Amino acid sequence: MRKYSLRTKLSLSYIAVVLISVLPISIITNLLLDKHFKEYIIENQEQKNIEIVFQVKQQYKSDSEWDMAAIGNICINALKQGMIIKVMDSSEKIIWDARSHDNELCEQMLAHIEKNMSSRYPNWEGRYVEKIYPITNNLNKVGKVIIGYYGPYYFNDSDLAFINTINRLLVGVGVFSLVLSFLFGSFMARKLSTPISRVITTAQMISKGYFADRLTEPSGTKEIAQLTETINNLAETLENQEVLRKRLTADVAHELRTPLATLQSHMEAMIDGIWKPDIERLKSCHEEIIRINRLVGDIEKLAKYESENIILTRTNFDIFELTKHIIQNFENDFTNKNITLELSGENETINADKDKISQVIVNLLSNALKYTQPGGAVQVEIKGKGNGTKTNDTVEIVVKDTGTGIPPEDLPYIFERFYRADKSRNRLTGGSGIGLTITKAIVDAHKGKIEVKSKVGEGTEFIVSLPKGLG
């Protein structure tokens, strides 16, 4: 399919709109004008006739006396307007006859009118008509006026000039509207196509992997502004993903390199006979293997939870009781680290995957334990949130600690794979950075949401909202 630019299309559509509106208006105006003008001319002709008859009548003196000079003037004037006049007295004697006076002028006049009319109406079929008007004086007929002209109507020079002026005006307005619409169309098209072209260029750059480009020029058009925003968001998401992907590869490599290097040096030392392969050294090698294994296990687990469709095995259970049970298992660890752990709230039944929800609570609690210093406190609360309709009821699991807190610049990323705010990867505190990724995947699968509020040095609060799913 042939593709046209937005600019061409808009300009053409503007011109089409003008043509569609101006052409019919011009044609209709022309037709109406013609019709009314003809009516006006016919009516006017009758008026003119009556006026001439009246003027001729004024020239009747008495006893069949006529002012010949005045009648001559009236009739010559009428001839100039295309009327051939004959005046007779009561005994049919000719008082004035335009043809006898100047037949050549009469013929010229008629030929001129014929030419005028045929120029405007090629199929004009006017007929020469004569109308007879009696002249009376004190109710006595004293004569008659015969007026001959092209009937039923004809246009003289000024009538024709008027009609032509109107037509020229209509054509002028049409051409002016066309030029204006073309200019306006081009202007609008440029206004629309320039930002779109900019979006295209940026999108092309993004598709080539240059994610740093952003569209900065604001647009007054709603859709273009949305498009610009979407492209900017897309660029940002891709840029973040790119950073995370690089980081993920670096992280996995780093995680694997340390235990592998230790293992390699220990093995080489034993093979070269520098170290004796005693229990202590073999145990140390074994620990490194366990670490590698755990990491691979984590990656596997992540793949399972991150796959699009987590299969949920839903049952009805009491989330408060479940949390209480998990807390009991954690109590020792918390006591050993001298951190207080409290549970509050009420019994709430939900329909969810019990094992996976346990995983969520375990992940949040083990993080709270990991990132809280001895002497700190962790509070867990279960809150039911009903908003009237049973189906929309939710339950909140809040885990709040007084630990290290998370720097604001790390907060948007903590749910990403292998992301750890503690970039030094302190093995004593940090895990592999997938706990929260799995937690979020489980919450998302339950159509819930997870929020985090944190202040460095004060603590962190995780709020998990889950639909009760009982409706």
Which residue's Cβ lies closest to ligand ADP?
431
143 close to 136: Cβ distance less than 8 angstroms: no
Stretch that binds ligand ADP, among 4-12, 170-178, 342-350, 435-443 (CB under 6 A): 435-443
Read off the amino acid at residue 351. Answer: N
Residues 276-315 that bind ligand ADP (CB under 6 A): none
Residues 337-366 that bind ligand ADP (CB under 6 A): 363
State the nearest-atom distance from the C-beta of 387 to ligand ADP, in Å. Answer: 29
Strand-pairing partners, residue 404, are none
State the nearest-atom distance from the C-beta of 465 to ligand ADP, in Å. Answer: 18
State the nearest-atom distance from the C-beta of 329 to ligand ADP, in Å. Answer: 18
Report the sign of the C-alpha dihedral through residues 268, 274, 275, 277, in that order: positive
DSSP state of 391: G
State the nearest-atom distance from the C-beta of 452 to ligand ADP, in Å. Answer: 8
Q: Which long-range contacts (CB under 8 A, 24 or more apart) does 307-315 make?
A: 310/356, 310/441, 310/442, 310/445, 312/352, 312/353, 312/356, 312/445, 312/446, 313/353, 313/354, 313/355, 314/351, 314/352, 314/353, 314/469, 315/351, 315/352, 315/353, 315/354
429 close to 367: Cβ distance less than 8 angstroms: no
Which residue, 181 or 363, is less far from ligand ADP as judged by CB? 363
Which residue, 87 or 339, is less far from ligand ADP as judged by CB? 339
Which residue, 49 or 432, is less far from ligand ADP as judged by CB? 432
Residues 365-404 that bind ligand ADP (CB under 6 A): 367-368, 370-371, 401, 403-404
148 contacts ligand ADP (rule: CB under 6 A): no
71 close to 145: Cβ distance less than 8 angstroms: no
> Which positions from 408 to 427 touch ligand ADP by CB under 6 A, shown as an x/- string?
------x----xxxx-----
Which residue, 144 or 440, is less far from ligand ADP as judged by CB? 440
CA dist 87 and 73 (Å) reads 13
Interface size with ligand ADP, residues (CB under 6 A)? 24
Which residue, 96 or 419, is less far from ligand ADP as judged by CB? 419
79 close to 98: Cβ distance less than 8 angstroms: yes
35: left (phi over 0), alpha (psi -120 to 50) or beta: alpha
Binding site for ligand ADP (CB under 6 A): 363, 367-368, 370-371, 401, 403-406, 414, 419-422, 430-437, 460
